Amino acid sequence: MKTPTAIDLFSMLVFPVVLAASIAATLALMDRGVEPALAFTGPVVGAYLFVMLCERFLPFHRSWQRSRGDVSVDLGHLLVSGGLTLELLRPLMLALAVAIGGWISWVVGAGIWPHSWPLVAQLVPALIIGEFLMYWVHRLAHEWDFLWRFHAVHHSSESIDWLAGSRLHLVDVLATRSGVLVPLFLLGFEQRALEAYLVFVSFHAVFIHANLRFSLRALEPFLVTPRFHHWHHSSAPEARDCNFAVHLPWLDRLFGSRHLPREAWPVGYGIAGRPVPPGWLDQTLYPFVER
Ligand SMILES: [Zn+2]
């Protein structure tokens, strides 16, 4: 067996260490009375910067470091579909939790969610329930033409990096986030666990799209890795509509949609025929344009 190099060890440690540090920082800030939105944003931005630094010094494709003129497009998507949408959903979820969650507790007699469990343990059922919902919302976005018009924007990037993961149409991100977070909240998912979950989801999304050749073979059976998700963005015909899982790869094995050639990475990315236009506004209007 080949001895791991310093870069192999670094690539294995980056994800768990940065994730644990970001979650710990978010919870510590919340415990000191910082608003959840702020307590979440600071550590997550720090984690994004760390991934950007890794991409700067250990890029998978050096040619992808040069912008194709789409940085402002992706920044527009990050601000609108990433930041604003999450802030819109927070009060909506709180209102729903108070209204419907209170009613469920009254009918059932007690909260369903295991509030007495340690926070890390609460994240496990949240991850499994959330992932099951996300898998099917994501699969539907590929297989139902109406939703694919929106999700195609995300798949239009031909070189992916930390920022490309944020190229999501507003409707796409609203469908995915509300399809997952609202049911979790209705089950009684508490605010601290929700923030920890959101840190995990946000950092993991940036990590799996990054321009980094971090294989993480030991993690592949348990967690969606950059290599697994890069295949989801492949333009190769044999990789079409595969690897819908966002966090737990065994769901694709279970539902017969896994595509992960041993050791290999995709060669081309994006959608054949380039149907999606390049500008932010054109991409936002694209699903509504008659073709
Ligand atoms: Zn997709």
**Whole-number pLDDT of residue 249:** 95
Expressed in angstroms and rounded, the spacing between residue 229 Cα and the centre of ligand 1 is 9
Expressed in angstroms and rounded, the spacing between residue 232 Cα and the centre of ligand 1 is 7
Contacts of 234 (CB under 8 A, 6+ apart): 266, 267, 268, 269
Expressed in angstroms and rounded, the spacing between residue 42 Cα and the centre of ligand 1 is 28
**Whole-number pLDDT of residue 139:** 95
Expressed in angstroms and rounded, the spacing between residue 180 Cα and the centre of ligand 1 is 16
Expressed in angstroms and rounded, the spacing between residue 43 Cα and the centre of ligand 1 is 27
Q: Average the pLDDT over 220-231 and give the result.
A: 92
Task: Report whether pLDDT(264) > 70.
Answer: yes
Expressed in angstroms and rounded, the spacing between residue 38 Cα and the centre of ligand 1 is 29
Apex CA 38: angle with CA 191 and CA 206, to 5°?
85
Domains of the chain by residue range: 6-288
Contacts of 141 (CB under 8 A, 6+ apart): 147, 148, 150, 151, 172, 175, 176
Q: pLDDT tens digit string along 234-262?
A: 998 888 889 999 999 999 999 999 999 98
**Whole-number pLDDT of residue 233:** 94
The answer to whether 151 and 171 have CB atoms below 8 angstroms apart is: no
C-alpha span between 288 and 291 (Å, rounded): 9
Bigger pLDDT: 201 or 112? 201
Expressed in angstroms and rounded, the spacing between residue 146 Cα and the centre of ligand 1 is 14
The answer to whether 154 and 170 have CB atoms below 8 angstroms apart is: no
C-alpha span between 230 and 224 (Å, rounded): 10
Tokens representing residue 171 in the block: 């409707």
Lowest mean pLDDT among 16-30, 50-64, 106-120, 146-160: 106-120
Expressed in angstroms and rounded, the spacing between residue 218 Cα and the centre of ligand 1 is 24
Bigger pLDDT: 168 or 73? 168
Task: Report whether pLDDT(42) > 50.
Answer: yes
Task: Report whether pLDDT(150) > 90.
Answer: yes
Task: Report whether pLDDT(149) > 90.
Answer: yes
Q: Average the pLDDT over 177-185 and give the result.
A: 77
pTM: 0.83
C-alpha span between 176 and 179 (Å, rounded): 5
Task: Report whether pLDDT(118) > 90.
Answer: no
- 48 to each of 41, 201, 225, how far by Cα in Å? 10, 12, 16
**Whole-number pLDDT of residue 67:** 65
Tokens representing residue 84 in the block: 């604003």
Expressed in angstroms and rounded, the spacing between residue 112 Cα and the centre of ligand 1 is 32
Q: Average the pLDDT over 207-219 and give the result.
A: 84
Expressed in angstroms and rounded, the spacing between residue 118 Cα and the centre of ligand 1 is 33
Which residue type does 178 have? S
Report the helix count and the strand count for the chain, using DSSP H and E.
12, 0
Task: Report whether pLDDT(107) > 60.
Answer: no
**Whole-number pLDDT of residue 124:** 85
Which residue type does 82 have? G
What count of other Cβ atoms lies within 10 Å of the Cβ of residue 70? 21
